[in-house]
A and B are shown apart, each in its own frame.
Chain A
């Protein structure tokens, strides 16, 4: 236990936060009761986290015992969340995913899913394996745009035959999958079997895994929506249930060994987006998309600020619908003026990754479940996506530099 432990409620911090005299918010208070567990996680995490040192110094010099206790609880909560983020079930589920990129937009309808789907198809055409997670609970459209038919499959863990397959499915070893069943009711699921040797909690839970649906374009997809047999069925999840579903999908999907996980985020900067940004360990970064309209740019800048606040790296900004391709003469017009996306990128100090032209054939192809880059691989849209893909590969270190050909 850390020597600065400030209270006398026992070393695990389990009840450290329950100050009945000042308890005006039961929920908050109970949250803090949870925040202190499992204790060895805190012990393990605090000394190794360089960010915590300054906080510990502040903690040591904090005024009253109550203030110190509150600060300690907050540190415990952060340490536990960080530890679970780095070593918990989501981290384990994604351990064989080489790169994780999320696509963000402040506003709906600006082409986030179009970017995700076409970028995925472009990367696949370049030889990379890609899986897309459609996290837009209320407006999922990735399966439709990729022509994915059928419902997300579910496979009970006992159906994973070989040891290798079990390992790939990030299943816990030794039978029972529920933390409670492994630890005789210990409240936080860490296994006692290796006590004294390994400080890692066993937070595995799932007894089944979601299987991605492979599309004919070579990109596989898991959509929160495709658990329903009928695609017209709305998802009515609200509040915490929605967040849990996203985290459950992230941790209970059989992502396998892939080069790219592209996450199609819901629009806005709400809880879902924040949940994903904070839940995915080793997120390479966010790709932000906007259109040149003033309102979209305004909301986009909020999204960029949100990502920064949550310390999610922003890889680049893409402008959509800046250039309209005339289906008759082939010429291009810029209905919203020139260079708006680029100016926004400069203003926000984000790399500008280019503008995706818009044509009537793009929407038609999407409706048919064919990514525009496959429908017209030699067209200007496909060119723009190849450029974006190259920039992405450079940004994450897969390629040395953007070639002149791709510019």
Chain B
């Protein structure tokens, strides 16, 4: 039986930002959920080995594949692609990264994710 995708959090925009494009919004929700998971892992609230599977359930790769062409044409498309690529690559390679670079390496990803979300206009 396949696991259900995780529920994604609502996105709250910083004041002055227009409503997000639906693909960007989907990406931001995935990004926010990933941020939360990484944060919990860093705080050791969830086991490191659970991070990869949990990130997988966000379906960042599917979102990237589905919206690749459209995101390329949007003003914030590059940041959004980067956000999804980060989450998808971490979902794919969390085990390897943790084995090679250790838990603290996740703080780099946390920081980058946070910056990207803020760049897009999400209130984090």
Chain A interface residues (CB < 8 Å from chain B)? 14, 25-35, 37, 77, 80-81, 84, 89, 151, 153-157, 175-182, 184-189, 205-208, 227-230, 233, 236-241, 243-245, 247-248, 251-252
Contacts and interface: CB of A to CB of B under 8 A. Distances in A.
Interface string B39-55: 00000000111101110
Given A228-B81, A241-B109, A243-B97, A187 B65 contact: no
A238 B112 contact: yes
Most buried by B among A81, A154, A179: A154
Given A178-B91, A208-B62, A244 B97 contact: yes
A178 B72 CA distance: 25
**Binding site secondary structure of chain B:** helix
Contacts of B69: 154
Interface of B: 1-3, 47-50, 52-54, 56-57, 59, 61-62, 64-66, 68-69, 72-73, 77-78, 81-82, 85-86, 88-93, 95-105, 108-109, 112
Given A31-B103, A228-B78, A184 B3 contact: yes
Contacts of A151: 72
7 contacts: A30-B103, A154-B68, A185-B50, A229-B72, A240-B108, A243-B97, A248-B93
Contact of B56 (A205, A227, A239): A205
A181 B85 contact: no
B112 A241 contact: yes
Given A33-B48, A185-B3, A238-B108, A247 B93 contact: yes
B56 A208 contact: no
A185 B51 CA distance: 10
Given A151-B72, A207-B61, A179 B105 contact: no
